[in-house]
Structure 1
Amino acid sequence: MAKLLRLNENFNSLDVVKEKLLPLTHIKSVNGLSVEELNDLPEDDRIYISKWLTKDHHLAEIRSYSPTESCSNNTKSEIRYMVGRAYIEYRRNKQRDSMGNLLPKTDRINLVKIDVIFFERDSGIDAIICTPDNHINKVKALISDENICKGYSKNNINSDEFYWLYYRYSTKKKVLNNDISLINITSFTGNIFDEHHTIYGKSDNTTDLIVTKAFVCSGSNPFTNMKISIAIGLTLIDFLVNRESDIRIDVESNIPQELADMNKEIALPLYLLSYLLPKIRELYINDAFTDDLNIKIDFSKMLGLEVIKAIMTHNDINAKELASDTEPMISVD
């Protein structure tokens, strides 16, 4: 899981992050202790601490990479980034031994080390938390709520962008530009009426399934997430992305050549969220699909006809029966 956040306007460069954010610590008191137990414990044993780790007494190193449009040999502008590592202590369920005595701190805490990627974009800073869902709030507490931008929507993916990807794939327009191709759509989740009524599809042939086509042509562009395979030159990346741009990347995905010296756990989230997804959005915005309503109407109509014909064939319904106002009779033994 990679969770994308936007830092607030006080952070306009990685140098500011390094100076003001990475020295922060977050301390949480151990609860459920008697006054006597608290008095007997050293100060460090009374707390859970979260902090940013240093290497040789130095905080994270600022680096950069330049995404390459491999087919045209054009180089995109440089993207500056750095990787911070969060050290987080948190409570274990078992706090006492069989006699009711408080366990030593090392036996009553868990600790995790979590990579957080910071990168510069649009005169601000985005942060990618690379961790399972259950640790995200712990890292957010270390970053501090007051340092996170509330209601920032520029990173969000709207349903129409998912719909566009489905349209491009279904109409065999899988080459998005000279460099990027849509290889497959293998799963999706969407709302039928609202968030309380959802549909989920998972198949290597998801786009061709009648139930998918019926769902898509029913209106309102209801996709909430999508798993896609994208080829960038010779690099193939499979990932699931939702409306908030949170991503889950298949382990077999390739590392882009520009980031070949990094491990996958850092390289792929960085590449997807700092370059590939913004690039796909740019292609979506520049496509005639976004401005020509007739394209969407004709596409939805095409899907609807395919669904109707498939249902008629499967149930042996003829055109006369379809046009009839008479309800069909159901045989009862």
Structure 2
Amino acid sequence: MTWLITGGAGYIGAHVVRAMTGAGERTVVYDDLSTGDAGRVPREVPLVVGSVLDGGRLARAIAAHQVTGVVHLAAKKQVGESVGRPLHYYHENVEGLRVLLEAVTAAPVTAFVFSSSAAVYGMPDVDVVTEETPCRPLSPYGETKLAGEWLVRAAGRAAGLATASLRYFNVAGAATPALADTGVSNLVPMVFHRLTEGTAPRVFGDDYPTADGTCVRDYIHVVDLAEAHVTVARALRSTPGLDLTLNVGRGEGVSVREMIDRINAVTGYDHPPTIAPRRPGDPARVVASADRIATELGWRAAHDVQDMITSAWEGWVRLHPAAARA
């Protein structure tokens, strides 16, 4: 098969490309480069620059590269921004997916992997969320991911596609320093940025109903997440008509305050956090049950939080050499 990976020049997408090609899969990257970096795409992997809202360009790319499977990662993903710009998020994430599926179902594509999110769960009232936990998203971003799951499932059934929606938890770490997260919207690079600027990391709210009052999340190493895509893609290839919804996490909750303490220890900095107001759309605790993907497909996360922070820091120092502590 040849897999079209939308958003394949982004942080997560580049790791998925690396894992897929490393496993012997043929890949093509489709990315508008609004946040992606063409330098992350291996030289041997074709790169098509375009928007998922451009149906004609998608159709031409699928035909030209004889694409038979799609991994769809391209999306807007900032929770807080989605609260202020809901129309933009629905247009980019839901309409972009609809346009992509229209091109996919008109072509000889047989498998479709959708990048969903733990944001679909909202504020679950359970310690660990399973795939059966009711979905009540708190933000327009989470709503677009849930609507995307529905759209993928419906289109897959109608067209005979094998489909999977992967509910990512909080992604961190890097396979190599060159593939590290260069943005500052995720917690780990956000803290790195504050530390190396000489300012205290920020905690958005310390009055949540958790042990230390800060949000609790399940962190997954991006390398593990990428390997999960390989496992799922191969399952879809081997089982026509398969329909999967899977959590991808480690099943271990870590609070924001704990993460900042661990980051200080790894980096050699010592800046206690300051407390800022809660961000809209942030739930108190979201921790995965990853039992289904382990039982059905044999996938389990192999890296811990220490691996995530250490590998992410190596990438940050590569880009910001002055950040390294003596």
Higher radius of gyration, 1 or 2? 1
Which has the larger share of strand? 1
TM-score greater than 0.5 by the shorter chain = no
Which has the larger share of helix? 2
- Normalising to structure 1: TM-score of the pair? 0.22
- Which has the higher relative contact order, 1 or 2, with Cα contacts under 8 A spaced 6 or more apart? 2
